[in-house]
Amino acid sequence: MPYDFDVIYTLEARSNFMLDVITTRYGLSEKRVFNEIQSAIAQLRPTLDSKGVQYADLKRALVPNIDREERAFVFDWTKFSTSWYGREVLRMILPLLEKGSSRSVLVGDWASKYGFNGIFQESFGEVAAGSLLDEPRAADTLYFVYLNNLTSAAITRLDAELSKHVAYLGSIDLTYTSLMKAMLSTMLVRAFIQHRTTIIQGHEDDQPDSEDVNLVGYDFEQFGYTNRSVPGWLYGWFLSYKIERPVLPDDDSDTRFSLNAMTATPYPIAQCVVELDERKLEYLQREKAGSLRIANFEALSAEQIAAQIRAKLAMNYIYHLARATDAGTLKFNIIIENGTVARNTCALEYRPQEQLLKVITFF
């Protein structure tokens, strides 16, 4: 029988250390952590409701979308006459965003001691905009605006309009895994969510939930947007888009807390068996043949597909954390990439007591 699910689209415990710190400092049990996360999401939903935003409507801004692109738009900040070049860049971008959809906006400078050009050449070569390679560039003069959930038409329009400004160097396709994407995931900060004509950002934790504060200071109203804000810790936990990157060894806090968000008795997925039974494989071959073909899974056995999925679990984060409201069913999604050709979503049922992950579907 079908169940209703409580869903947390994403939980950020990768660069947000709050959960790690309070768990360690106060010796919180997994049951207490589960209760704290569930209490927090229960606070966020009505807070958003009161500001005219439904949490469920933010899905495309918060999780990877296999039918949309992710892009980094690159600027040379030395071409601006003000030190607040981020504001000038957003003045160019805000009027160009599609106001019928939603996306996360991340921004920041290249903040690495490692050189830019070597990483860029290794990661992208001719895939990126040619202007970025026209001449040697200093890494510390680059400013990035990262947008997810973009259509091809939106990218074309953004590139065309931004190219009119001397500071714009081009854009980089970051839809698929790459060294550049992983590097930027460690550098950029979550500025805000653009949800249609509403901007959502975080405000100081000591401000009432009812307040709407524009901490980032961009000119939203000038471009037809309404600013709304929620307490910063809630924004940090639940409204922070995570740019995909491989999970580093001994750095599984994000996955651990994501599992704990669904259950008070989590079991490490790294120690779980992935199971795809023959009846499910027959269903996928019949109903999801195109998805299997895109992933190069069509000629594989159930055991071989399960092994491929098992390997992918260590390469990314989990999202769409779902817990049945009237049963014990738990499930989450992961992204499966076939090089830079296509991406699929794999839904897995999580059975921590059985140390098992069952393949639900593939699309």
Q: Map 169-236 to HEC letters.
A: EEEEECCCCCHHHHHHHCCCEEEEEEECCEEEEEECCCCCCCCCCCCCCCCCHHHCCEEEEEEHHHHH
- What gap in Å lies between CA 312 and CA 315, rounded to an integer? 5
Q: pLDDT confidence of 180, banded at 50, 70, 90?
A: confident
pLDDT, residue 80, reads: 96
- What gap in Å lies between CA 168 and CA 143, rounded to an integer? 10
**% of the chain at pLDDT higher than 90:** 75
The average pLDDT across 218-233 equals: 97
- What gap in Å lies between CA 217 and CA 128, rounded to an integer? 31
- What gap in Å lies between CA 83 and CA 80, rounded to an integer? 8
pLDDT of residue 125 exceeding 50, the answer is no
pLDDT of residue 127 exceeding 70, the answer is no
The model's pLDDT over 130-164, given as tens digits with 9 standing for 90+, comes to 456 455 556 678 899 999 999 999 999 999 999 99
pLDDT, residue 140, reads: 75
As a whole number of Å, the end-to-end CA separation of the chain is: 21
- What gap in Å lies between CA 216 and CA 214, rounded to an integer? 6
Q: Is the Cβ–Cβ distance between 344 and 291 less than 8 Å?
A: yes
pLDDT of residue 166 exceeding 60, the answer is yes
The average pLDDT across 85-103 equals: 97
Give just the sign of the alpha carbon dihedral 302, 308, 314, 317: negative
Domains of the chain: 60-238 (3.30.70.60), 267-362 (no CATH)
Average per-residue pLDDT for the chain: 90
Q: Where do we find the tokens 């790459």?
A: 178
**pTM of the full predicted structure?**
0.92
pLDDT, residue 177, reads: 87
Longest dimension (CA), the chain: 64
- What gap in Å lies between CA 70 and CA 244, rounded to an integer? 11
- Token readout for 361 is 């579907």
Pick the more confident residue, 327 or 264: 264
The average pLDDT across 313-339 equals: 90
- What gap in Å lies between CA 199 and CA 222, rounded to an integer? 12
Angle at 14 between CA 24 and CA 251, to 5 degrees: 75
